[in-house]
Homo-oligomer: A and B are copies of this chain.
Amino acid sequence: MVVGAGFGGLFATKTLRHVPAKVTLINGTTYHLFEPLLYQVATGILSEGEVAPPIREIFKGRRNLDIQLGWVSDVDVEAHEVVVDGADGRVRRVPYDSLIVAAGAQNSYFGNEAFAEHAPSLKNIDDALEVRSRIFHAFEMAELAEDPDEQRRWLTFAIVGAGPTGVELAGQIAELAQRSLKGQYHHADLTQTRIVLMDAVDRVLPAFDEALSVSALKTLKKLHVDVRLGTRVVDVDAKGVTVAGGERVEAYTKIWAAGVMAPGLAQRLAEATGAPTDRAGRIVVEPDCTVPGHPEIFVVGDMAAQNLPGVAQVAMQGGRYAAQVIKGRLAGKPVTKPFKYFDKGNMATISRFSAVANVGKLHLSGLLGWFGWLGVHLFYLIGFKNKVTTLMHWTVSFLGRGRSERIATTQQINARNALHHLSTDDHHRAVGVVQQLQNGRPE
């Protein structure tokens, strides 16, 4: 059984294609999410379908595979069963012989969950559409604003977290304001758009080689992004962000790209197995990705504490490795070598024609890095059709300057407005209702 259809679960399931056993894949949504391109959904370049291919379409025709829509809430390690909150509201216990848990990571506000209302994160499709709606709505509001302070607040975008998501978002919002939307507004001067990118650490892209951080910072500055390093955010409210020391960034649009933590399932699995967890709640696994004392349970990807970065490649390779171990056991040819991550490198694109990448000792930046980024992402995108329409959308957005996927639903806008215009008394209650509706799933 595989839990989760992210990169880890997807590659595990793919690898289990020809095993003489039934495979069950349980996931909370009907689609696999290509998370590294989520920021392009948020900035109007790609449609949500392009980064979220349906799992059933990826695995169509697989006779040994059963796909179930639901959330695994617990694991009964004695009975060898997982407890599934089915999407139909029923709770089921589903048996397993081997279990690969790849439930990924979820966003973390470091204990300040109240920030979420004002600064959505960018971890799933709902987030991406919410952020998209806020970004494009902000330009419309700036166009309508009569008060200069009000207009300035609408034209200021505060991004918390300077990892790949924060950096890529900052770059794309800058492109939007300076290039893509040029000439489309008459009252708001989009050249006055301010993008403030904040992080508590002292360099951008801290997981990358230092030379690339320097090069990325240079590109961001060329795009007039206001990068504030060593800056800790202490409060987020409707009108802006307060940083340690009391300084304010006045901005209606805030995006949280700062931290992740293990999902609730990690905690439950740790309790059930006695496995240790790290500070982020991830499970410390054996060299073969199994849970200590439970050779039948594997944890791969962002849920595993392995001193590896939280990137797609780690999850893909972990998922594939775990599936190979299971295949080996079924075939009577046990895999004995431990999991070893092969680092193919890191990359982030900052604006069109400019990306940074390190591949082994090789550093790429600028145009060369960008073509590398393009090729790798197209290669890993799932499905021929998605590759073609994505390439088309990139052509339009990067060679041209169109942003064709910038639709917000009225539901999103109304939900925000409803919060905005309520009295403080009603506000709290309504926030609860709306967040319950918006949340991926109450933990």
Binding site for B on A (CB under 8 A): 29-31, 44, 47-50, 52-54, 56-57, 60-61, 66-70, 86-90, 124-126, 129, 136-137, 140-141, 143-145, 181, 183-186, 383, 385-386, 388-389, 392-393, 396, 400, 402-411, 413-415, 417-418, 420-421, 433-434, 436-441
Contact = CB atoms under 8 A, between A and B. Distances in A.
Number of chain copies forming the complex: 2
Given A385-B402, A404-B385, A86 B411 contact: no
A133 to B, nearest CB: 10
Contacts of A183: 60-61
A44 B47 CA distance: 12
B140 A49 contact: no
A410 B440 contact: yes
A393 B144 CA distance: 36
A124 B414 CA distance: 15
Contact of A386 (B89, B386, B404, B409): B404
Given A184-B60, A403-B57, A418 B396 contact: no
A138 to B, nearest CB: 11
A16 to B, nearest CB: 16
Contacts of A405: 47-49
Contacts of A418: 436-437
A294 to B, nearest CB: 28
Given A47-B47, A47-B49, A69-B140, 19 more contacts: A30-B136, A47-B50, A49-B405, A57-B402, A87-B413, A88-B144, A90-B144, A125-B407, A126-B409, A126-B411, A385-B402, A389-B389, A389-B392, A392-B392, A410-B440, A411-B411, A411-B437, A414-B436, A414-B437
Contacts of A47: 47-50, 405
A392 B396 contact: no
Contacts of A437: 411, 414-415, 418, 434, 437
Given A48-B47, A89-B421, A57 B184 contact: yes
Nearest to A187: B66
A145 B290 CA distance: 33
B143 A69 contact: yes
Contacts of A52: 407
A67 B124 CA distance: 32
For the complex of A and B, list the 5 residue pairs with the smallest distance between their C-beta atoms, beginning with the closest: A47-B47, A49-B405, A56-B184, A385-B396, A48-B407
B89 A406 contact: no
Nearest to A61: B183
Contacts of A186: 66
Contact of A68 (B89, B144, B383, B421): B144
B30 A410 contact: no
Contacts of A436: 414, 418
B407 A31 contact: yes
B410 A29 contact: yes
